[in-house]
A and B are shown apart, each in its own frame.
Chain A
């Protein structure tokens, strides 16, 4: 009886959340999986045929663009998340000191996180303009040659990552800073009494104790950066010469420009599986680290 009451309680507690989520998510999930097994095209008046795994086979064997897009997406994620983590750590330690204006500056630093991605893209596109942008102006002021930024096949990926880093480093900073602030004081005082240097404090105490916080932050960011769309769409649309083509851009093009809706669904599922595998790896590491 107690058991049943407990089950009922649990049910009612999780009901609101799961009701909303499944209501919205169940149809798209089933729909996209079913059409990934068909040669469905949204503009084709004829009913779609089941071609089973053909879309997936074609994807794995023939699709160079998907490979390119995956490579770009993973690159952007790696660059952006690493940079955000490092910068976030540096900022978190810096702001851990007491100095005048600490609180106000902290609020100011959070500003980029609150900006719409579309606006971030527009502003950085303006900044990176090869002829009129302020980025090249600053380079010229310090004597460096101008870069083509979003027009340069070698640089565009970094430029797009830079926009994301600008926008989301505050998020990392916030989490890491909170983590540092909530660490117990005792071990650090003991270590200082024992004569530990700052460097030793960092490596032996701070970082290991922050491991869990760092991992959760990293996994949340990885999931979000892999899905990056607005910034790429506004800044480069996947160019120049496909060097910033991400998986979501590619899926968007295939479903909205070329109308191969079934194939786009197959691409989405493959991508989803990749994201799930990546986060499963990290989550396991989180549990292991506890």
Chain B
């Protein structure tokens, strides 16, 4: 085959892959949005109704009656504090694991990772008991701590990988100039890790924002988060499909915005320390 034809075919293939993946990724969102603005009687029509007169009934219900704005605030507070905490603590720990050789280094690292392996269902009851006896039920504190616990391992493993790849000479030259080990890290290495930090921030934020089980058992009305409200649409009488779809859109919204803003940095940050150019 001539080179031109090959290029044309490969371009076609790329276009096809890009577009079909886009459609596959976005169609359920379109469906969620459509369901959230469809009047009830059209919901289950087959063949589906593509053009219809939209209604804001579901959004009104969710914002006015269910007071979703409060839960949105709770979600924002818990997610931002816990992801910042995670990234801070995890990065420091990653630095220690990457730069210092000490006994028990590897076992400490794998212990951290093993925390991530606990299915939340398994620890639900003891964490509830713990929170109850510490009087931390229905506070932001307990949610922040629990989410941080599950995210710190991931942050640490990714950041450690990243820091491993940055040559130690950079810090050593900083130390010659008079910084301590830690200051050298903060001033010199950390800015180089900016992209990695942003990407682990996004990963922790996604996890905290979307977490469901602990949100259900550790909160009452005052500190409840969005995913729990989404789960409350599943009643025994039926799933409130309309409000559930509306909540899907509302829950996904802020995350999307956040993701789009730092999308550029995400890619650069996810290299896990693959060799630099």
Contacts and interface: CB of A to CB of B under 8 A. Distances in A.
Chains A and B share a contact (CB less than 8 Å): yes
Given A16-B88, A108-B25, A255-B125, A94 B14 contact: yes
A9 B277 contact: no
Contacts of A200: none
A95 interface: yes
Given A97-B14, A111-B252, A182-B277, A137 B48 contact: yes
A31 to B, nearest CB: 4
Interface string A113-155: 1111111101111110001101001000000000000000000
A28 B274 contact: no
A201 interface: no
A216 B161 contact: yes
Interface residues of B, number: 102
B255 A114 contact: yes
Contacts of B182: 9, 13
B149 A230 contact: no
Interface string A167-205: 001100011011101111100000000000010000000
A180 to B, nearest CB: 9
Interface of A: 6-7, 9-10, 13-14, 16-18, 20-21, 23-25, 27-28, 31-32, 42, 87, 90-91, 94-95, 97, 99, 103, 105-120, 122-127, 131-132, 134, 137, 166, 169-170, 174-175, 177-179, 181-185, 198, 209-210, 212-213, 216, 220, 223, 226-227, 229-230, 234, 247-248, 251-252, 255, 261, 264-265, 268, 271-272, 275-276, 279-280, 283
A85 to B, nearest CB: 15
A116 B26 contact: no
Given A25-B115, A132-B44, A251-B121, A122 B233 contact: yes
Binding site secondary structure of chain B? helix
Contacts of A212: 272, 274
Given A24-B146, A114-B206, A251-B122, A14 B18 contact: no
Nearest to A97: B14
A134 B161 contact: no
B15 A111 contact: no
Contacts of B21: 87, 91, 94, 109
B15 A227 contact: no
Contact of A116 (B145, B161, B227, B277): B227
Given A114-B255, A272-B114, A272-B117, 18 more contacts: A13-B95, A16-B92, A24-B148, A32-B123, A32-B126, A110-B259, A111-B259, A116-B248, A118-B227, A118-B230, A119-B227, A123-B245, A175-B270, A179-B271, A198-B10, A229-B120, A276-B114, A283-B110
Interface in B166-184: 181-182
B22 A105 contact: yes
B28 A10 contact: no
What are the 9 tightest A-B residue pairs by CB atom distance, in nearest-first order? A178-B270, A28-B126, A17-B93, A13-B96, A16-B89, A114-B255, A268-B122, A119-B248, A132-B44
B125 A25 contact: no
Contacts of A229: 119-121, 213
B92 A17 contact: yes
Contact of A108 (B22, B115, B120): B22
A18 B181 CA distance: 21
B249 to A, nearest CB: 9
Interface in B204-237: 206, 209-210, 212-213, 226-227, 230-231, 233-234
Contact of A115 (B233, B241, B248): B248
B269 A178 contact: yes
B104 to A, nearest CB: 10
A118 B85 contact: no
A116 B119 contact: no
Contact of B112 (A21, A23, A177, A272): A21
A237 to B, nearest CB: 11
A170 B267 CA distance: 12
B122 A32 contact: yes
16 contacts: A10-B100, A14-B93, A18-B112, A24-B145, A27-B127, A28-B126, A103-B263, A114-B210, A118-B212, A123-B32, A124-B28, A185-B277, A223-B117, A248-B121, A271-B119, A271-B122
Interface in B100-143: 100, 102, 108, 110, 112-127, 129-130
Contacts of A227: 117, 119-120
Given A10-B102, A32-B122, A182-B275, A119 B247 contact: yes
Contacts of B212: 116-118, 230
B241 A116 contact: no
A10 B112 contact: no
A244 B267 CA distance: 35
B16 to A, nearest CB: 9
Contacts of A280: 110
B122 A114 contact: no
Given A114-B206, A114-B256, A223-B117, A99 B14 contact: yes
A175 B110 CA distance: 22
* Most chain B CB neighbours (cut-off 10 Å) among A10, A24, A174, A209: A24
Given A10-B102, A17-B92, A27 B126 contact: yes
